[in-house]
Chain A
Amino acid sequence: MSLDAGRCPNGHLSCPPHPRCPECGEPQSETVDLADETATVVTWTTSYATPPGVREPNTLAIVEFEAYDVRLLGQVDGDVEIGDTVEATYTEELRDPEAGIREPASQAWDGYRFSPS
């Protein structure tokens, strides 16, 4: 499994990737795997009112990777504070694909949760 960020020839990164670099408009010609990288918590919240098929409560954080200039949002296992170091763990199903409004076949449902290092 991998946690891919897109990278353009000018070195700009985004995760998730986009067809064109949001910063300079060049195609994102390569990917960088962030799965084994540590990251720092930028901010977090715990949601106590979640939609159908989502765990409740659901703690989420925006993190910034330490080795790359790129941020990512993801579910969190455990307690975190701003500035904490976290690592990513693969999870097969982040929510129940059948319970929500989104067409289950239209997207992937696996991904990475963060937890304190």
Chain B
Amino acid sequence: MTDVAIIGASMTQFGERDGWVCDLLAEAATACLDDTGVRADALDHLYVSNMASGEFEGQTGVPNALAHDIGALGAYTQRVDQTSSSGGAGIYAAWQSIASGASDLTLLVGGEKMTHRTTGEATDVIASLTHPHEYKHGVTLPSFAGLTARAYLDQYDAPREALAEVAVKNHANGVDNPHAQFRKEINRETALDSPLVADPLRLYDFCPITDGSAALLFCPVDVAREYTDDYVRVAGVAGATDTHVVHERPDPTTMNGVVKSGERAFEQAGLSPEDVDVAELHDMFTILEFLQYEDLGFAEKGHAWEDAMDGTTARDGDLPINTSGGLKSKGHPLGASGVAQGYEIYKQLVGEAGDRQVDAEVGLACNVGGFGNCVTTAIFEVGA
């Protein structure tokens, strides 16, 4: 298999944007190509990570639209949909395209346009991934988070304040991310006093609804230097599924898709959790940061909350988590999020993260679809 490099990255401003999905995708795509000095007509493959452009906007077939808009005619295009882990699935697909030799230059662009819909409508679009039994009971992804958070706090005797600490930390990190939807610090009291959304979780336990796009450019490692001196190597990437019906899992506080995708990615990379210097975890809800932290092996089951409370996961801690601000403050344009996680790790590893910069040679991104229904984990290291 060919060793795979990422040689360029971009992300648009996240938040409430005027443009529609094709505008946002084109903005990120052209920025990524310009960042690397690559012409669009040199692309072999062009992938778009997107969950629901048809449902949100009535626009389908966006990869072909993007190819035409950016001058990549002739490239092979495909849409990668894995609900909210579409971006991570896109990283896996782009890696496969280069590793297999099918493509020598693949551009991955993730994007979603959501904010023109009401919160209820957007929640319903996302909830449409649930099983008919779950859907008829009015289950939403936030309500899964409430069910899980209550079980976690009860099972591991964890303090409610620990969840608030995740929000406080990720908001603090987001202040230094110029692309983030929210760039404001919050304190623990603000998080703990915010309105209940899915008991015991409150407003500040949830990421917002967001428009935005991000892109990554992939090629074989052995030609990466022809494009740039600063590249990262995809050391390992893997995906896995868990049950579709969430209540059929034996333990609500364990996400087996995270466990399996993490194990497979670490095995491929020849690395272990101790080797990771920085990680982007899918904090669509604060509780998810704990679950992934444990299920990827960064802490024993039931102990992630301690690392949140003692500063281990802060930017100046031993294992900084979500230096980008996470989904919580950066925003969560569904198909873009996994790609934007890759953007943050790329920037950290090539030393271009500015005020967010930490000391890192190995970075990990975990992107969660549904409520752990499908997961991809990617491990990146500084190019040799």
Contact = CB atoms under 8 A, between A and B. Distances in A.
Interface string B129-147: 0011111111110110011
Nearest to A109: B136
B248 A51 contact: no
B137 A47 contact: no
Contacts of B123: 49-51
B198 A48 contact: yes
A46 interface: yes
Interface of B: 55, 119-121, 123-125, 127-128, 131-140, 142-143, 146-151, 154, 195-201, 243, 245-248, 252
Contacts of A45: 143, 146-147, 149-150, 198-201
B146 A47 contact: yes
Contact of B247 (A47, A62, A109): A62
Nearest to B200: A45
B247 A71 contact: yes
B250 to A, nearest CB: 9
Contact of B246 (A73, A74, A82): A73
Interface in A75-106: 75, 82, 94-95, 100-102, 106
Most buried by B among A58, A60, A72: A60
A73 B134 contact: yes
A94 B199 contact: no
Contact of B196 (A48, A54, A72, A101): A48
A60 B128 contact: no
A73 B137 contact: yes
A51 to B, nearest CB: 4
B133 A111 contact: yes
Nearest to A70: B248
B150 A47 contact: no
B270 to A, nearest CB: 32
Contact of B252 (A42, A51, A109): A42
A75 B138 CA distance: 8
Contact of A73 (B127, B133, B150, B154): B133
B150 A22 contact: no
A52 B121 CA distance: 7
Contacts of B128: 100-102
Contacts of A61: 147
A108 to B, nearest CB: 7
Contacts of B124: 51-52, 100-101
10 contacts: A16-B133, A43-B151, A43-B154, A46-B196, A47-B142, A48-B196, A73-B147, A73-B246, A75-B137, A110-B136
A93 to B, nearest CB: 9
A106 B149 CA distance: 31
B206 to A, nearest CB: 9
Contact of A49 (B120, B132, B136, B137): B120
Contacts of A28: none
A75 B248 CA distance: 16
Contacts of A107: 132, 135-136
Nearest to B121: A52
B151 A42 contact: yes
B243 to A, nearest CB: 7
Contact of A22 (B143, B198, B243): B243
B240 to A, nearest CB: 15
Contacts of A75: 137-138
Contact of A72 (B125, B195, B201, B247): B247
Given A42-B252, A72-B247, A47 B136 contact: no
